[in-house]
Amino acid sequence: MFLKGYTKEEKSWMLYDWANSAHSVVIVTILPIFYNTVAEYTPDAASSMNTWGYCTSAAMLLIALMAPIMGVLGDFRGLRKRLFSVFLAVGVLSCAVLAVTPLLDFVNPQVAEQVGIQVLLLYIASQIGFSGANLYYDSFLPDVTTKERMDRVSTMGYAMGYIGGSTIPLLLFLILAGIGVDMLVCLSFVFGLTAVWWLVFSLPLLKNVQQKSYAEREKGAIVQAMKGLGKTVKEIFHHKDMFFFLLAYFFYIDGVNTIIHMSTSYGDTLGLGSTDMLLALLLVQILGLPFGLLYIKCSEKFGARTMIGVGICIYMGISIFGFFVREVWQFWVLAILVSTSQGGIQALSRSMFGKMIPDPKRSGEFFGFYDIFGKFSAIMGPSLVAFTSGLAAQVIREKENIPSDASIEVLTEVSRRAAPWGVLSVLVIFLIGAWFYFVCLPKYLKKRS
């Protein structure tokens, strides 16, 4: 009913958000809890949150380094969909193999470390597949709709992800756990379901969406395009509105991604129950649809630029509130605050940038740089959280004369007390992004709908 008025191509494109959002909620939020469980049987159990943060940064670094070249290649006739399919396959296969890991004997300390490494490597591979496919998915946006409809189509895509792609797999997991199915079997099922879900609901895009803007693959054209990356950088710098938007985006989307990737790891470190956290995250997905629709309405009335600004302010409040989270009910409040703006700020950022692209034939190239700003920023946030919480833990140990070889129980308690400082550090990132967005960008940004 709410998809009435959208074209077949727009619907097929939006359905991919339904497809890949299963990865967003299951792999990004449930997998860290499983990894922490495995890490409890290893010698380095107390620093599992830090390890997860650094591995998230490593995954983002790899895709960020590849993004500009990927974007250029995707602009040539026929390559965008082929490359999309390659990264889709990497992501789907990684999730399928992850389904095996909960069934391994990781309770054995000799096996636990190997399983932990396997989980981290598969997580990195799934993130590369997810991010690479998303780059090409984003660059299809100018092919499936008009500039006037971009805000609506982009935001509805995120809303589609919330209503089905995120909610249904997580709900099935909680139902299985609620009726007494072994938790490890539930994890294996939901990781496998993520792979199948992601693949099946990607088929409409593969069938119905075509690359309409492209460059011809003449002899030497790819080499020339690679050499032209420096020219594109100069072009972005020349378009001051695009340049300052990307600088602002670099910081504020880093804060958004950091909160997404680190939320359950943070809650687990604080000792919050896994089921309670997952129920709170389910609430995020359920509320994501109505808030996504609200962002569409508000962006039509006030403009995408204003609503992105609202999202930045809300996330600054989330960073401050997160520092004080100690109880489950506070985690629920945090989840509701996140649900108000998580999809809206990402969707409107994508469409706002899409309308800034000067040449639709080079949308892949420009979205490659958009992606590199997003991914390089995602390196900074989790690493900052890991570094700050680690530094806070060191200060606590030195202040209270706690030796580094203290018992696991003592070191875990130190990590629990240090973790809120890591979350608070995200506020610094949002403040820098807000300065670029509210102070620098308006000087150059043309009035946009």
- Per-residue DSSP letters for 277-324? HHHHHHHHHHHHHHHHHHHHHHHHHH-HHHHHHHHHHHHHHHHHHHHT
Better-scored residue on pLDDT, 111 or 87: 87
Q: By mean pLDDT, which of 52-66, 265-279, 287-301 is the weakest?
A: 265-279
Angle separating helix axes 48-74 and 31-39, nearest 10 degrees: 140
Q: For 113-125, how does the pLDDT look when each residue is reduced to its tens digit (9 = 90+)? A: 888 889 989 999 9
- Per-residue DSSP letters for 35-97? HHHHHTTSTTGGGHHHHHHHHHHHHHHHHHHHHHHHHHHHTBTTHHHHHHHHHHHHHHHHHHH
pLDDT score, position 222:
60
pLDDT score, position 449:
38
Which of 262-276, 297-311, 363-377: highest mean pLDDT?
297-311
- Tell whether 60 is covered by a domain: yes
> pTM score, two decimals?
0.72
Q: What is the mean pLDDT of residues 58-71?
A: 77
- The number of domains in the chain is 1
- Per-residue DSSP letters for 168-211? HHHHHHHHHHHTT--HHHHHHHHHHHHHHHHHHTTHHHHHH---
Instruction: Provide the b/e sequence for 168-183 (b: ≥16 CB within 10 Å).
Output: bbbeebbebbeeeeeb
- Tell whether 128 is covered by a domain: yes
pLDDT higher than 80, residue 426: yes
By three-state DSSP, how is residue 215 classified?
Answer: strand
Q: What is the mean pLDDT of residues 268-287?
A: 73
Distance CA 305, CA 310 (A): 9
- Tell whether 336 is covered by a domain: yes
- Tell whether 213 is covered by a domain: no
Q: What is the CATH number of the domain that holds 253?
A: 1.20.1250.20
Let me know the angle formed at the C-alpha of 287 by 258 and 283, rounded to the nearest 5 degrees. Answer: 70
pLDDT higher than 80, residue 447: no
pLDDT score, position 220:
60
Better-scored residue on pLDDT, 227 or 422: 422
pLDDT score, position 88:
96
pLDDT score, position 314:
94
Distance CA 216, CA 228 (A): 15
- Tell whether 63 is covered by a domain: yes
- Tell whether 172 is covered by a domain: yes
pLDDT band at 261 (very low <50, low <70, confident <90, very high): low
Q: By mean pLDDT, which of 33-37, 44-48, 88-92, 426-430 is the weakest?
A: 44-48
Q: For 312-327, how does the pLDDT look when each residue is reduced to its tens digit (9 = 90+)? A: 999 999 999 988 888 8
- Tell whether 83 is covered by a domain: yes
Q: What is the mean pLDDT of residues 214-243?
A: 71
Domain that holds residue 376: 8-204+223-443
Which has the closest alpha carbon to 119: 207, 214, 219, 39?
39
pLDDT score, position 105:
82
pLDDT higher than 80, residue 364: no
pLDDT score, position 375:
65
pLDDT score, position 1:
54
pLDDT score, position 16:
92
- Tell whether 209 is covered by a domain: no
Better-scored residue on pLDDT, 297 or 283: 297
Q: For 126-172, how does the pLDDT look when each residue is reduced to its tens digit (9 = 90+)? A: 989 998 898 889 888 888 888 788 888 888 887 777 776 667 777 77
- Per-residue DSSP letters for 348-380? HHHHHHHHH-S-GGGHHHHHHHHHHHHHHHHHH
Q: What is the mean pLDDT of residues 235-257?
A: 86
